[in-house]
């Protein structure tokens, strides 16, 4: 009887502890496509953000909204968050860097829909070099590779 009570309390304690560090969220919008699609359900953990992680952050322009974006840059002024789907994303290009303290949750995996169950990989934000303003950093990579230097 006593052991049962202790086990029960331990389970409740573990649940409360887990809830502080684990959570589930649903995606709305397409700015993280194709990695994440609307209605995807994700498991998130409370963790320090790293470059390339998909993270949750309070929208600096509207604290009621929580954004999901990828960490594309880490600088002195904070984290630069960008959507993978650049042409349909409102992100650091619109609101600048966010303080690292504003990013508390990291996405670890998708549990729904079941056919796309699996981890969400940490990877560079852009498949192609993105350089806003000034000369393109790497406009013709093949020319550099084929160059006579």
Interface residues toward other proteins, by CB under 8 A = 23-33, 36, 38, 41-42, 56, 59, 65-69, 83, 85, 88-90, 94, 111-112
Least distance to other proteins, CB of residue 63, Å: 13
Q: Which is nearer to other proteins, 24 or 48 (CB)?
A: 24
Least distance to other proteins, CB of residue 47, Å: 16
Buried b (16+ CB within 10 A) or exposed e, 55-84: bbbbebeeeeeebbbbbbeeeeebbbbbbb
Q: Which is nearer to other proteins, 76 or 101 (CB)?
A: 101
Least distance to other proteins, CB of residue 65, Å: 6
| CA quadruple 106, 94, 35, 44: dihedral, nearest 10 | 20
Least distance to other proteins, CB of residue 1, Å: 21
* Alpha-carbon gap, residue 80 to 97, rounded angstroms: 5
CB contact at 8 A, 84 and 32 = yes
* Alpha-carbon gap, residue 123 to 132, rounded angstroms: 20
Least distance to other proteins, CB of residue 59, Å: 7
Q: Which is nearer to other proteins, 23 or 122 (CB)?
A: 23
Here the tokens at position 24 are 């589930």
* Three-state secondary-structure class, residue 144: helix
Q: Which is nearer to other proteins, 63 or 143 (CB)?
A: 63
Q: Which is nearer to other proteins, 78 or 91 (CB)?
A: 91
């Amino acid at each position: 009887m006593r052991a049962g009570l202790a086990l029960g309390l331990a389970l409740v304690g573990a649940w409360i502890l887990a809830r502080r560090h684990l959570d589930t969220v649903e995606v709305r919008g397409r700015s993280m496509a194709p990695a994440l699609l609307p209605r995807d359900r994700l498991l998130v953990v409370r963790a320090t953000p790293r470059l390339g992680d998909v993270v949750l952050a309070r929208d600096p322009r509207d604290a009621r909204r929580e954004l999901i974006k990828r960490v594309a840059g880490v600088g002195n002024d904070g984290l630069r968050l960008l959507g993978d789907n650049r042409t349909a994303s409102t992100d650091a290009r619109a609101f600048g860097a966010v303080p690292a303290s504003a990013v508390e949750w990291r996405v670890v995996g998708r549990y729904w829909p079941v056919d796309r169950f699996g981890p969400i990989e940490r990877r560079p934000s852009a498949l192609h070099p993105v350089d806003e303003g000034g000369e393109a950093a790497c406009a013709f990579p093949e020319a550099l590779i084929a160059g006579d230097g």
